[in-house]
Structure 1
Amino acid sequence: MRRPYLVTGGAGFIGRNVVQTLLERGETVTIIDNGSAGLPLPAASGRLTVIHGDIRDPATVEQAMPQQADIVHLAALHHIPTCTADPSRTLAINVLGTQILLDAATKADARRLVLASSGAVYGWQDIALSEEAPLGPTDIYGVSKRTNEEQARIWSQQSGANLRIARIFNAIGSGDPHGHLIPDILTRLEQSDDVLPLGALSPRRDYLHVEDVAAGLVALADDPASDLAETYNLCSGTALSVEDLARRLMTLAGRNLRIESRSTLQRPFDRPLLLGDPSKTSERLGWRVRRPLEEALRAIIASHPARVLS
């Protein structure tokens, strides 16, 4: 018998793709989202219930929570500069909000939680990071996600419900409302015809299409293993530097600007490499990256103002 789904942050960049995937295969889904990402909430339908609300509000979360649901928990503040600028708000949303969700899940006898964590929980290393790599978050966002993992483990142990932790690396694609690196590069391409100013050029990141992330989260929700708790990386297993990413974007846009690294645009702390190892997820769940990086980049450029294109 199918169980209903609750997707927190279901109107967000990743969440809307998860919801679409679930609806397309016939699931019954409830969304709770406060609209803070700036994306419109979808219209309710026969199998989709939409609740405009904040996960910090216990009454709203309890109202949204179906009985014996499978939960995909995506609601969070995750734009790193925003998190760094307001640590108290970050912890209130990410940590307190998660605990309120877990309390409601206990009351509703939820059977599985897929928790969206992050590659940011890992310590700095110059190799591909497996799920067994040492943890050592270095910013408030990473701290909040590491805390979420422990909160969820305690809940799983006490409730007997299954927990699947998804350590997501850099999700990209069209429709991202946050000021991440790619939208920032494209904005700077709009503003100049000769020079593309950037911060540090050498840091490398693991990028994957948002639709692959959504497919991975659904695969975690479907994991047939009986283990009470498991952790999986959602990553591509390849890394691209800031400079290489900028050059690929310029090539796809038909632009050829001179790249300049400027100290005023550099973050105070920026790890040289954040690269994941997807082997466990591929071997156990059959999930793998299926959409090439260029597909995501082309979609992003196509949805951006025409001034970016040559």
Structure 2
Amino acid sequence: MAEPTPASPDWAKASGDVWARRWQQTDRGLEPLQAPLVLAVAERARGGSFKAFDIGCGPGSTTIAMAETFPEAAIIACDISEALAKVARQRTAEIERVQVIVGDAEAVVATQAPVDVFFSRHGVMFFSDAVQAFRTIRGAASDSGSLVFSCFQHWDLNPWASELARAAAGKSLPEPGREPGGFAFADPVYVEQLLSASEWRDAECRAVQFSYTMGEGDSPVEDALSFTTEIGPAARVLESLPEGERDAAVDRMRDVIERHVDGNAVVFPSAAWIWRATA
């Protein structure tokens, strides 16, 4: 039997606030996914003007990349975190075609229908009922609408998460299951079933291997350690430990991070899926 895992992040409040404060570091890690994600949208998006919706827009980085790539697109950027949406609103203030709204995407999409392209960089793995959420999103899509999103591959292919979480715990840990979280969509067979059940068709995924930069600068190890003790699976393990055990856990995490130093950066291998489906 798998051991219980710490509670999922509260994106609307505390966790969203932390991510908003650390948005430049989270962006640094996921930035290599930006180009393949936008390319996947370009392969599905129709030419000229269209309406797009960013599910879980975070600080707005993917929204900005989309706006730059598709100068005639009108883009709705949505996040459940007020703090993250505020960052996105500030960063897109000069882009008239972008509207940033706060709310649960599942509850908001109907007010924006019909949408031609739904897209998301790692923002769709947190729905409590994924089939219902994707079905609701499908219901707001135009007849030729499409869905494009990224998500992580298997836990063990992402040692920035798996190695550091095990180091924090000081023991082997079970891989995450299908509960809402960063690795909920790691199994492509499962995701294909979810999309089919929610009435999306022609679903396909593409594997992307990339370098996840966790720390950089004059003190890359300290930069990475500061980040990973606040955000990610290792941080949640750390929070679950008795206070007297945390210093030793941080030392073990530091050992892992030091093995991944590359010049003035801390770089971990990482792997993701880029999914595409049609309404």
Calculate the TM-score normalised by the size of structure 1. Answer: 0.42
Query: Which structure dedicates a bigger proportion of its chain to strand?
Result: 2
Q: TM-score, normalised by structure 2?
A: 0.46
Task: Tell which has more relative contact order, 1 or 2 (C-alpha 8 A, sep 6+).
Answer: 2
